[in-house]
């Protein structure tokens, strides 16, 4: 779901600056080529492979972005991180 959403938003002109999987967050402040990042179906847990910058998973919620799409599992936004 996340890869499809990121690629669709990218096609619509959004700047995708971060994507994540269980291994971490691929962060590229100038934008990610979403077609170059494998989806889980294409290659499980490979989002951070070959990334220039990898952040710890919890850092995803601290990035200064206009929109966050939590697309993998439920309950990732909690009372503890909602303000981040």
* pLDDT per position as a tens digit, 32-42: 999 999 888 89
Listed in sequence order, the residues at least 6 apart from 6 whose beta carbon sits closer than 8 Å to its beta carbon are 16, 19, 32, 34, 37, 69
| Torsion angle of the four alpha carbons 1, 69, 18, 35, in this order, in degrees rounded to the nearest 10 | 30
pLDDT at 27: 95
Residue 29 has pLDDT above 80, yes or no: yes
Dihedral sign of CA atoms 3, 57, 15, 82 in order: positive
pLDDT at 17: 96
Is the overall model pTM greater than 0.75, yes or no? yes
Q: Facing residues of 18 across strands? A: 27
Dihedral sign of CA atoms 16, 21, 26, 32 in order: negative
């Amino acid at each position: 779901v996340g890869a499809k959403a990121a690629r669709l938003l990218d096609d619509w002109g959004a700047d995708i600056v971060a994507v994540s999987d269980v291994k971490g967050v691929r962060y590229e402040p100038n934008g990610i080529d979403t077609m170059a990042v494998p989806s889980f179906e294409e290659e499980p847990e490979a989002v951070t492979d070959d990334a220039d910058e990898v952040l710890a998973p919890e850092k995803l919620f601290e990035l200064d972005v206009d929109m966050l799409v939590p697309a993998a599992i439920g309950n990732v936004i909690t009372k503890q991180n909602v303000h981040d």
